[in-house]
Amino acid sequence: MADNGDNDSQHRVNEGDYVVLKRGDIYKAVQIQKKKKTVFEKQWFFLDNAVGELYGTTFEVVTGGTLQPRKPKLVESSADAKEAGTDNRNILDDGKSQKLTRDDIETLKEQGLKGQEIVQQLIENSTTFRDKTEFAQEKYIKKKKKKYENSVMVLRPSCRVMAMMYHGREPGKICHLRYDTLAQMLTLGNIHAGSKVLVFETCAGLVLGAVMERMGGYGSVVQMYPGGGPVRAGMESFGFPSHFHDTLHEFPICHVNALLAGALDTEAKDIDADSGQANGDKSNLTQTGPEKAESKECSPDTKDQCMETSTSTDPAADKEREEREKLREIRGQERKVKMEEKRKKLAAAAAVLEGRNADGLVIASRFHPCPVLLGLIKFLAPSRPFVVYSQYKEPLIECYTKLKEQGGAVSLRLTDSWIRHYQVLPNRTHPMLLMSGGGGYLLSGTTVATDTPKMGSTRGEEPAAKRLKLTETTEG
Amino acid sequence: MGSDLASNRFSIDPRDRSQTRPAMSFVEYSEFIQEGDIAIIFLGHDSMMPVKVQQGAQTQTRYGVIRHSKDLIGQRFGTKVTCSKGGWVYVLHPTPELWTLNLPHRTQILYTTDIANITMMLELKPGSVVCESGTGSGSLSHAILRTIAPTGHLHTVEFHQQRAEKAAEEFREHRVGHLVTVRNQDVCKEGFGVTGVADAVFLDIPSPWEAVKHAKNAMKRQGGRVCSFSPCIEQVQKTVEALADEGFQEISTLEVLLRVHDVRTITLPLPDFGSDQPLETPTDTPVPSNASVLCKTTTPPRDMAGHTGYLTFATKPSV
């Protein structure tokens, strides 16, 4: 049953692939392009040699910026010559323990010595190394390796590495959403293949990408976006196959009210698009019209031309002008096609939303979550989970209170999580000295059907106990 | 069932596969409640119960009886159902998260906070092939199945025969039987029953270090991710050593804790500083002031889970 005839090719790096580079705990997302210089952790290199290698391969950066795959069984060679002290009572900090000078080290580097060899040199020229305890020696080697070993791991992008990368590199861009919080969101939102999920995020497209990864190209995602267009850089770095993009819709948040009011029908969209086209035509006119009238709208260059045409009847100039007009017409046509595409996209997204039967809602933005949640929750079917992220707790308290007031949701929970990493080594196991202080807060819950008028009559018959209990939970 | 067990493996009931009606399952939402569905009766804050919907059946709640034929079948998931005593409940569509809160415990189980991190750190997604041991009460199994459907597969190993049987039965009942194979064997001795197929392996057993080799064998040649859950640090220590010996990379141990915040309105009384005018007739007993400030805040729960287990992750490198 070995490998099920699995083909290696899908596990190998191809040109054009989106990959993530890793060194230590540092990640960087790049696209593989031949002969393209990549800068990572104060080093530059070319990724050409990564093409054809398996994902997860570690490379050594050698002179000239080329990468050389490192054989897996090359690690840990300092097992020989076990000579170590028991404590540090005789180790003095005189600043002279290292016999190599800064210049010596630079020379070694320039000679193109491998990182491992430099580390070996440093050890041999350290007078105190032998007196250090075994643990201190290990720590010394680890520290020097980190500094001098020029290795880079090439990973396939995934929600895990993307979330860790953004959190490490650019937490501000993702509203300080920590990876364990993102993990909670995907699980609490029950994000899975075949569902219809709404996403509103200003996290560079990371949350969108995470949702899409969990959907696996099955079902549909509607990205609700603020401003002029959706931000998707983070999602693009996942390198999804093209069919994933077929399941992705976008809808501007500024049309939500119209859609909810039923004012955003196809006609309206047509008018919208038409007016856009009309605008386009108009601008076309303002460009072509004045030219015919030889007006000030012309650029200096065209002005000369205008003057030329006005004074002479040069057939060449006439021809040029004709060509220019043709070009404008083509551009106008292109604009028209673009508008039409945009209209179609809007109509498609609206059609997905109109049923108000979405299966999940994920919000993670720099906007106040309350209006976003109260607006978008209307698109959810009953008995579906929703999850809202905020870097701050107070706006979520408001969301909680408003939702309790208006009903339509149960199981409301306001949470945050702590993550603690551990160093696990023989006789040296302990929590890491540094831990992340905050990964943001989540409000999660499940939608339920709101009361229909018919249900109103039964409301009066509720047992008193239940009512009391409800007010208790509402008001705490 | 008996014959299935004899072969040490639970095969899939073909009827599960041939289902064409849009029925509820743990990996697919449906709109209306049908016979045979699992529904979650939501009674109130932190009070729920799972029911199997059957024509003619009744369920007793503290708000009265629910008659399945009349109150549940044909209703939309998420509707309010009025019980016989006039009280009401909501009927919810099952999800792995709701199941985790409602399942019958046969063992200690993993909760959603850990499950969320395991799922992400193991890089699970539709199509992933996953090995798990032990199956236990199936809390994590349901979450894995939700994530890897419709094209992935879960190979889960449980050495306790009764638990293995019960889990297999539940998977069929929850209409996810086609996505999972339950094996009744000892993972530390016999492994997962598959080789070279898994993208990810999860271990929740007392001596995970004894299963590391089997985990490696079960995984694809091109590598994958592994996770081990252990409550004690000594277990972690041994597991990390075993992982390093087997050539696993990116070994990392972490712990995640969830804090649930109680939202409430509090009243803070204001002290009376008295009048700034000298009193004409000084009295010994000042008039108590009722001035106070209302404020919305959260309080931490009095008790919270301080430790569930350490999660150790690692990557199997490609060969």
> In Å, how far is B256's CA from the nearest CA of chain A?
4
Chain B contact probe: residue of A10, A73, A165, A192 with most B CBs at under 10 A: A192
Q: Tell me whether strands B224-230 and B200-203 are parallel, antiparallel or unpaired.
A: parallel
Residue B213 contacts residue B102 (beta carbons within 8 Å) = no
Chain A contact probe: residue of B24, B25, B29, B145 with most A CBs at under 10 A: B29
pLDDT of residue A123: 82
Contact yes or no for A183 and B44 at CB 8 A = no
Q: Model ipTM?
A: 0.91
B197–chain A Cβ distance below 8 A for any pair: yes
Q: State the Cα–Cα distance between residues B315 and A126, nearest whole angstrom.
A: 35
Higher pLDDT, A179 or A310: A179
> In Å, how far is B282's CA from the nearest CA of chain A?
41
Min mean pLDDT across A413-422, B189-198, B216-225, B276-285 is at B276-285
B23–chain A Cβ distance below 8 A for any pair: no
B300–chain A Cβ distance below 8 A for any pair: no
pLDDT score of A267 more than 60: no
Contact yes or no for B237 and A186 at CB 8 A = no
> In Å, how far is B281's CA from the nearest CA of chain A?
43
Contact yes or no for A422 and B31 at CB 8 A = no
- Which residue from B87, B95, B247 is facing A466, i.e. has the nearest CB? B87
pLDDT of residue B68: 95
pLDDT of residue B285: 64
- Which residue from B77, B146, B150 is facing A382, i.e. has the nearest CB? B77
Contact yes or no for A469 and B256 at CB 8 A = no
Stretch B199-210: mean pLDDT: 98
Min mean pLDDT across A58-62, A206-210, B119-123, B246-250 is at A58-62
- % of chain A at pLDDT higher than 70: 80
- Chain A nearest-CA residue for B218: A2
pLDDT of residue A313: 59
Chain A contact probe: residue of B48, B77, B85, B125 with most A CBs at under 10 A: B125
B158 annotated to bind ligand: yes
pLDDT score of B274 more than 70: yes
Q: State the Cα–Cα distance between residues B287 and A325, nearest whole angstrom.
A: 89
pLDDT of residue A221: 97
Q: DSSP state, B25? A: B
B97–chain A Cβ distance below 8 A for any pair: yes
pLDDT score of B148 more than 60: yes
Min mean pLDDT across A69-78, A85-94, B117-126 is at A69-78
- % of chain B at pLDDT higher than 70: 90
CB atoms within 10 A of CB A302: 17
Stretch A334-345: mean pLDDT: 90
**Amino acid (one-letter) located at B128:** S
Stretch B9-17: mean pLDDT: 44
Contact yes or no for B42 and A411 at CB 8 A = yes
What is the pLDDT confidence band of residue B1, given thresholds at 50, 70 and 90? very low
pLDDT score of B20 more than 80: no
Q: DSSP 3-state assignment of B265?
A: strand
Chain B contact probe: residue of A190, A240, A435 with most B CBs at under 10 A: A190
> In Å, how far is B204's CA from the nearest CA of chain A?
19
pLDDT of residue A17: 96
What is the pLDDT confidence band of residue A284, given thresholds at 50, 70 and 90? very low
Contact yes or no for A414 and B256 at CB 8 A = no
- % of chain A at pLDDT higher than 90: 53
> In Å, how far is B161's CA from the nearest CA of chain A?
25
What is the pLDDT confidence band of residue B287, given thresholds at 50, 70 and 90? low
pLDDT score of A374 more than 70: yes
Contact yes or no for B236 and A424 at CB 8 A = yes
Predicted confidence (pLDDT) per residue in B21-48, tens digit = 467 899 999 999 999 999 999 998 789 9
pLDDT of residue A286: 37
pLDDT of residue A142: 82
What is the pLDDT confidence band of residue B288, given thresholds at 50, 70 and 90? low
Residues of B within 8 A of A158 (CB-CB) are 123
Predicted confidence (pLDDT) per residue in A163-178, tens digit = 999 999 999 999 999 9
What is the pLDDT confidence band of residue A47, given thresholds at 50, 70 and 90? very high
Phi, psi of A7 (to 5 degrees): -90, 130
Contact yes or no for B194 and A1 at CB 8 A = yes
Contact yes or no for B116 and A186 at CB 8 A = yes
CB atoms within 10 A of CB A85: 17
pLDDT of residue B22: 60
Task: Give chain B's largest Cα–Cα span.
Answer: 98
pLDDT of residue A208: 98
B295–chain A Cβ distance below 8 A for any pair: no
pLDDT score of A276 more than 50: no
- Which residue from B95, B255, B297 is facing A420, i.e. has the nearest CB? B255
pLDDT score of B282 more than 80: no
Residue B166 contacts residue B174 (beta carbons within 8 Å) = no
Residues of A within 8 A of B297 (CB-CB) are 397
pLDDT of residue B9: 56
What is the pLDDT confidence band of residue A8, given thresholds at 50, 70 and 90? confident
Stretch A166-193: mean pLDDT: 97
pLDDT score of A148 more than 80: no
- % of chain B at pLDDT higher than 90: 80
Contact yes or no for A397 and B80 at CB 8 A = no
Residues of B within 8 A of A192 (CB-CB) are 27, 126, 146-147, 149
Q: DSSP 3-state assignment of B220?
A: coil
Residues of B within 8 A of A399 (CB-CB) are none
B138 annotated to bind ligand: yes
pLDDT score of B198 more than 70: yes
Average model confidence (pLDDT) across chain A: 82
Q: Output the CA–CA distances (angstroms, integers) from residue B174 to B28, B49, B138, B178, B191, in the order listed.
A: 10, 15, 12, 10, 27
B139 annotated to bind ligand: yes
pLDDT score of B60 more than 80: yes
> In Å, how far is A168's CA from the nearest CA of chain B?
16
Chain A to chain B Cβ contacts (< 8 Å): 228
> In Å, how far is B173's CA from the nearest CA of chain A?
20
pLDDT of residue A475: 38
Contact yes or no for A448 and B123 at CB 8 A = no
Min mean pLDDT across A79-88, A303-312, B54-63 is at A303-312
Higher pLDDT, A145 or A220: A220
Min mean pLDDT across A122-131, A348-357, B112-121 is at A122-131
pLDDT score of B208 more than 50: yes
Q: DSSP 3-state assignment of B39?
A: strand
Contact yes or no for B263 and A400 at CB 8 A = yes
Q: State the Cα–Cα distance between residues A250 and A199, nearest whole angstrom.
A: 9
pLDDT score of B12 more than 70: no
Higher pLDDT, A311 or A114: A114
Q: Scan for tokens 């795959």, then name that residue.
A: A69
Stretch A456-469: mean pLDDT: 40
The 3-class secondary structure across chain A, one letter per residue, is CCHHHCCHHHHECCCCCEEEEEECCEEEEEECCCCCEEEECCEEEECHHHCCCECCCEEEEEHHHEEEECCHHHCCCCCCCCCCECCCCCCCCCCCCECCCHHHHHHHHHCCCCHHHHHHHHHHCECCHHHCEHHHHHHHHHHHHHHHCCEEEEECCCHHHHHHHHHHHCHHHHCCCCHHHHHHHHHHCCCCCCCEEEEEECCCCHHHHHHHHHHCCCCEEEEEECCCCCCCHHHHCCCCCHHHHHCEEEEEHHHHHHHHHCCCCHHHHHHHHHHHHHHHHHHHHHHHHHHHCCCCCCCHHHHHHHHHHHHCCCHHHHHHHHHHHHHHHHHHHHHHHHHHHHHHHHHHHHHHHHCCCECEEEEECCCCHHHHHHHHHHHECCCCEEEEEECCCHHHHHHHHHHHHHCCEEEEEEEEEEEEEEECCCCCCEECCCCCCCCCEEEEEEECCCCCHHHHHHHCCCCHHHHHHHHHHHHC
pLDDT score of A273 more than 80: no
What is the pLDDT confidence band of residue B149, given thresholds at 50, 70 and 90? very high
Alpha helices (runs of H) in chain B, residue ranges in sequence order: 2-6, 14-17, 96-102, 112-121, 139-148, 161-173, 187-190, 212-218, 233-245
> In Å, how far is A91's CA from the nearest CA of chain B?
31
Cβ burial A264-289 (10 Å sphere, 16+ → b, else e):
beeeebeebbeebbeebeeebeebbe
Task: Give chain A's largest Cα–Cα span.
Answer: 100
Residues of B within 8 A of A397 (CB-CB) are 263, 296-298
Predicted confidence (pLDDT) per residue in A13-41, tens digit = 999 999 999 998 899 999 999 999 999 98
Residues of A within 8 A of B92 (CB-CB) are 383, 410, 446, 448
B128–chain A Cβ distance below 8 A for any pair: no
